[in-house]
Amino acid sequence: MPRLKTLTLSSLSTLALLAAAPASATTFTISWWGFNGDKLQEIIVNPFQEMCGCEVVFETGNNGDRLNRLQMRSGAGVDVIYLTDSYSQTGIEQGLFQPIDPAQIPNISELYEMAQAPQGEYGPAYTVGRIGLVYDSARVNPPITSWNDLWREDLAGMIALPNITTTTGPMVVLKAGDHAGVSAYEDQDATFASLAELVPNVVTNYNTGSEMINLFSTGEIAVSMTQDFTLNPLRAAVPTVEWAALEDGEIAVLNTINIPTGSENVELAHQFINFVLSAEIQQQLAEQGVDAPVNTNVTLTDEQAASWTYGEEAIGRLQRIDYSQLNPARNEWLDLWNETFGM
């Protein structure tokens, strides 16, 4: 049966070649969102690959997705993991991370104090952001100036909220509580009744920042709640988008880097963290519109600083979330959220 034989032989040899191809030196695995992938490749990955002579591989997805996968693998499979502070808090509680050795990360001393050890002996924060509202000024009039504006009738069918499964989702519930004049932790009924009033305004709830940007760029929505790291790419897609100047204040978010217990390259991981915390890299990331800097040696012009949470003073004005309260509440709110939006 010559045909079958040739087919088998050629497939096997091709596959052998394919499989043999990338077996190079060490593989360093980073778990992050994948957002701004091309810029991160340029600013962080390429220089780091040269420094370490290793090959960098990614696991991408949102916080929940990646933390769950890490838990499935019992802390193995990736060398460093980028998470937002509420999720890294969960990771710590689940025993998935190892404490870092500050001696191997000298650049930590250059950071704002709140970023150096936000979660005890675990990873530092590499950026600080705010959660607020964005809107397309071409379609929304008058402009948005308060969280309560979300409930405006003229915004019917124009909003996408972060899904409860995202970082910012639970904060929607907190704000719904504020809107009803109650604490979301104490009066769930009133809070969710207030959330239900939002329903006619909401088209869909997004799972990732990039999904939200797509919804804006295709005109499906004109208002959303998001973190400020999405602002630059959002403005590039839809120039008329504005960050709402909220009189009732925005929420602070710290993104952390941690080393999972199953990391195969712990020393390299420390090197990597030190690398991304350096003033040089933080400067480039800020200037290229990727992340707000937490290294005090980064200097930005007023124009560059405009879209970031920059400076000790600006950071001081933000509302901090107590994750030890929010995280447990989040699980309870999951079903109530689905019953509000998913029926």
Binding residues for another protein, rule: CB under 8 A, are 1, 3-4, 8, 11, 14-15, 18-19, 29, 31, 34-35, 37, 57-60, 64-65, 68-69, 71-72, 77-78, 157, 163, 165, 202-208, 210-211, 214, 217-220, 334-335, 338-339, 341-343
The 3-state secondary structure of 82-114 reads: EEEHHHHHHHHHCCCEECCCHHHCHHHHHECHH
Fill in the DSSP letter of residue 321: P
Residue 211 tokens, joined: 């999904």
**Across-strand partners of 178?**
none
Smallest distance, Å, CB 95 to another protein? 15
Smallest distance, Å, CB 342 to another protein? 5
Residue 15 or 245 with smaller CB distance to another protein: 15
β-pairing, 80-84 vs 55-60, is unpaired
Smallest distance, Å, CB 343 to another protein? 5
Spatial separation of the C-alpha atoms in residues 217 and 202, rounded to whole Å: 17
Smallest distance, Å, CB 203 to another protein? 6
Spatial separation of the C-alpha atoms in residues 155 and 136, rounded to whole Å: 11
Task: Dihedral sign for Cα 202, 147, 136, 167, please.
Answer: negative
- State the virtual CA torsion across 65, 67, 71, 75 in degrees, nearest 10: 130
DSSP-based three-state secondary structure for 128: strand
DSSP-based three-state secondary structure for 75: coil
Smallest distance, Å, CB 241 to another protein? 15
Residue 288 parent element (H or E): none
Residue 312 or 339 with smaller CB distance to another protein: 339
Residue 71 or 271 with smaller CB distance to another protein: 71
Residue 37 or 311 with smaller CB distance to another protein: 37
Spatial separation of the C-alpha atoms in residues 11 and 5, rounded to whole Å: 10
Residue 99 or 157 with smaller CB distance to another protein: 157
Spatial separation of the C-alpha atoms in residues 292 and 274, rounded to whole Å: 17
Smallest distance, Å, CB 244 to another protein? 22
Residue 28 or 310 with smaller CB distance to another protein: 28
Spatial separation of the C-alpha atoms in residues 198 and 159, rounded to whole Å: 9
Smallest distance, Å, CB 261 to another protein? 16
Smallest distance, Å, CB 27 to another protein? 8
Fill in the DSSP letter of residue 76: B
